[in-house]
Structure 1
Amino acid sequence: MTIQQNIVTHTFETPFGKILGLRENGVIRVKNIRYARSERFKKPVPVQTADFEISDKIPVCPQHVSPFLERLIGKTDVNQFISDESPQFLTITRPENYDENERLPVVVWIHGGSYEIGGGDLPTSDPSVWVQEQHIMVVAVTYRLGVFGFLGGDEDRPANLGLFDIIESIKWIKKNIHSFGGNPENITLFGQSSGGDAIAHLMISEGVDDLFQRAIIQSAPLGFRIKRTAMSADFFQKTQFLKDESDPMNMVDQYVNFLPSFRKYGLKTAMPFCTQYGHSPLCKEEESLPKWKENAKKYDVLIGFNNDETAFYVKTAEKGIYTYLPSTILDKIVSVTTKSIYGKPIDIFAQNYKEGGGNIYQYKINSTIKNHYIGASHCIDLPFIFENEAEWKSAGLLKDVPWEYIQENGKKLRALWAEFARNGSISEDFERPEVLELRKV
């Protein structure tokens, strides 16, 4: 256990023992709490006693560093991370200035990364500014990814293990968050990209009754969720030989060799891993929309996307066909693919949810910067919520974007999202950031 000498500690008394948090930058942070353990291709088993470590290392599921994301989001310092095949950890961030009688609204952050990369506690998703400003609590969850968490097909290699991890984390939060000042009856799941997709599917999963009240779903690629059965089965069969590989990083190194062969399945191969219908805890694919409608009165929902989502991929390519196309053609490709992967499926989801009697808000984020090449692309929403200039300033995503623009719009956006997390509604009196279109469906 390592503790930086210049950081003051705070002790939480919990039913399972004392847990140490660190006071830093106006918040108290409790890092690396283990909520479950797992063996390879087995469901998570909840921990029964306090199990945490204060460390400078961030636990993540075994994965490759993505050069593409390093260029657009930021350079990865591999020394910051520790790879763990059982990565069921969470980090709690709450305000330092806090009345012990309060019960703070709890926002549970489910990270994105195509179900393949990332972690809950990355520097680019530091919620400290949001927590201080809005007096909320944020819990960041890390879970299994890729072949470990989102590829399965039989009893020996079950599907949706990463989804089971997330469910176990929410159970832990529901049971224990009061010890840290959180309100277990006011829990909002908040996710971006595949994290948002996971939340949408948690809303129709078995075993989640009464675990959360609200959902904020940003840029979920719902257009990729359907007609995946053949591709997933093919991928599953071709990776069967990996199941007994002793080194998890060798598993990661080897599965990528099969990805080019899946291009025949179309655009969805851009996200080879996903939740799998017809496998626990999910229903069959054809039952999903009726199930969302049936459950609509259970959860308040805020859902939306960015106007130029796929510019993140199309307009930043360093090689391939996109580098030879004129800007007018690229704009058309971005418009069509953003609509098919994000816009239209989200419209269908929202309308279906409304027809079920659900309380749902729909938003879109636009770019108001003149001549901004990639506009409101995928991930542009993240620095608005997770304002951290030191981590975001060198991101290619924000090239030619003044930091003041991020600050001004981000502060207003964080206020709106926190208001929704508090009570499931957004007052017309709240000032809207210039980048945001928002309506109650």
Structure 2
Amino acid sequence: MGTNQTKGTHTFYTSFGRIIAFRENGILKAKNIRYAYSERFKKPIAVQPSLGEIMFPEKTPACPQNISPLLEKMIGKTNLDNFEVDESPQFISVFRPENCAENEKLSVIVWIHGGSYEIGCGDIPTADPTDWVKEQNVIVVTVSYRLGIFGFLGGNEEKPANLGLFDLIEALKWIKNNIESFGGDSENITLFGQSSGGDLIAHLLLSDGIENLFKRVIIHSAPLGLRKNRQKMVTEFLKNTQIFNDKSDILEIIENYKNLAPSFLKYGLKAAMPFGPQYGFPPLCNEWEAEEKWKEKAKKIDVLIGLNDEETSFYLKTSDTINKYFPVKVLNRAIRTTTEIIYGKPAEDFAKDFARAGGNLYLFRIYPRFMVSNYFLGAHAIDLPFIFGNESAWKNAGILKNIPWKYMDENGKKLRKLWTEFANTGKISDDSERPEILEVFKV
């Protein structure tokens, strides 16, 4: 490691190259380092080390995607001027405390973003880990990977399945090989993901080629209840989209694939998430082997898994149609039922199986209980502002309507401290202070 003379920047000397970071708010940020390249519908190829300086791009690269009106309403507006569409979006960003002891090795947390396998990228303001890194003296690495039709729809020679999963494996190899140059402990890497990011982590546990790349996982709100019996739906989706090939215009693909998606009426809840990892294709096992494979990992990987109390209120309470035609009691029952089907029971089943196989596992549930007029206190994504803080990014979020930031901040600091304890040690002590929003216990 070393510092150059340019004010406000820092140079990390790594075997990958000289990586330029900038200083901001007590943090060193090495942003948007390319770890792999890919051509459309092809596997990623790792980037080779460089002799020159590796600079961060002016704009944040993001996989082509449609803006989600629901996320705009619930989380906040996306400033498109800050992003650059890139069909090869394999980038990572490293966030590290500015002041570290020379030989100190910090725990590493790798953030894998959610977004139903269709939207998002690693580097967005609502998941800026500055508060976490600064408070808890850890390194956080954020990862971008291919999404949607480019990363999670395939199953033939022209369009292989699981390309986004292959991207992530390349990212984890890069982190394992290079993180010590940033002051990180390559033997203490924790994967952390929310929603489809959590689902991805569950499937990384099943993937070939991940041995020794990470030690622990934190899985928030993974829709594990949607993972089974998907192949017929995916095959239909793949067939419907065969008109798109490696020569098709990106905008044409993005604007039109939605019209070809599988029918919700035919496939039920699964069709709400038409993209995802596909069993029976590299690097994954067959679907019926998943439970046994997870058990094989039980003694090797520490797990912290859980959900928010009313996950599906994020979707059901924002629908004008549902609110118009269904009484509150019926709606609340539907939220409870769908939350347990998609998130709750699958997490509990995973936890019990993993623990029975000798694994070290903690199960949690987040129950915000601030007594205000707010529909979304246990909704999907309510955990994110607690975990990441960053008040300015969340100030207009519909999901936090009428909740004072002080409440988010006080609980968030305690939650970040607890999750860091798990990342550091694989344990959550009985003596550690719990935020009032949380129930967590060892299974």
- Whether contact under 8 Å (2:113, 2:196) holds in the other structure is yes
Which one of 218, 227, 230 corresponds to residue 228 of structure 1? 230
**Secondary structure of residue in 2 paired with 1:215:** strand
Number of equivalences: 435
Q: CA deviation at 1:263?
A: 3.4
- 2:33 equivalent in structure 1: 33
**Secondary structure of residue in 2 paired with 1:240:** coil
Q: Does 2:174 correspond to 1:181?
A: no
Which one of 396, 399, 422 corresponds to residue 398 of structure 2? 396
Distance 2:258 2:59 in 1: 26
- 2:301 equivalent in structure 1: 299
1:306-341 alpha-carbon deviations (Å, 9 max, x no partner): 0000000000113x3343212111111100000000
Q: CA deviation at 1:61?
A: 0.4
- 2:153 equivalent in structure 1: 151
- 2:3 equivalent in structure 1: none
Written as runs of structure 1 = structure 2, the 5 A alignment for 1:230-379 is 230-259=232-261, 261-318=263-320, 320-370=321-371, 371-379=373-381
Distance 1:323 1:188 in 2: 44
Distance 1:186 1:197 in 2: 21
**Secondary structure of residue in 1 paired with 2:263:** helix
Written as runs of structure 1 = structure 2, the 5 A alignment for 1:360-439 is 360-370=361-371, 371-439=373-441
1:316-367 alpha-carbon deviations (Å, 9 max, x no partner): 113x334321211111110000000000000110011111111000000002
Residue 294 to residue 260, structure 1, CA distance change in 2 (3 Å): closer
1:221-274 alpha-carbon deviations (Å, 9 max, x no partner): 000111101000000111111013432222111111112635310011111101
1:407-441 alpha-carbon deviations (Å, 9 max, x no partner): 01000000000000001001111100000000000
- Whether contact under 8 Å (2:19, 2:55) holds in the other structure is no
Q: Does 2:55 correspond to 1:17?
A: no
**Secondary structure of residue in 1 paired with 2:208:** coil
1:140-180 alpha-carbon deviations (Å, 9 max, x no partner): 00000000000001121110000000000000000011111
Task: For structure 2, list consecutive stretches of 5 or more residues without a partner in the other structure.
Answer: 1-5
Bigger shift: 244-253 or 121-130? 244-253
Counterpart code for 1:170 = L
Q: Does 2:145 correspond to 1:127?
A: no
- 2:45 equivalent in structure 1: 45
Distance 1:7 1:201 in 2: 43
- Whether contact under 8 Å (2:114, 2:195) holds in the other structure is yes
Q: Does 2:200 correspond to 1:198?
A: yes
Q: CA deviation at 1:375?
A: 2.1
Counterpart code for 1:18 = R
Bigger shift: 146-155 or 250-259? 250-259
Distance 1:284 1:150 in 2: 17
Distance 1:142 1:231 in 2: 26
Structure 1 stretches of 4+ with a deviation exceeding 4 A read none
**Secondary structure of residue in 1 paired with 2:243:** helix
In percent, how many aligned pairs have the same letter?
A: 58
Task: For structure 1, list consecutive stretches of 5 or more residues without a partner in the other structure.
Answer: 1-5
Distance 1:198 1:52 in 2: 29
Backbone CA RMSD of aligned residues = 1.3
Q: CA deviation at 1:199?
A: 0.3
- Whether contact under 8 Å (1:245, 1:251) holds in the other structure is no
**Secondary structure of residue in 2 paired with 1:162:** helix
Distance 2:58 2:370 in 1: 38
Q: CA deviation at 1:126?
A: 0.4
Counterpart code for 2:47 = V
Bigger shift: 320-329 or 189-198? 320-329
Give the TM-score taking structure 1 as reference length.
Answer: 0.97
Distance 1:16 1:413 in 2: 34
Bigger shift: 199-208 or 43-52? 43-52
Distance 1:110 1:238 in 2: 29
Distance 1:243 1:42 in 2: 12
- Whether contact under 8 Å (1:151, 1:232) holds in the other structure is yes
1:373-432 alpha-carbon deviations (Å, 9 max, x no partner): 222100000001110111101100100111111001000000000000001001111100
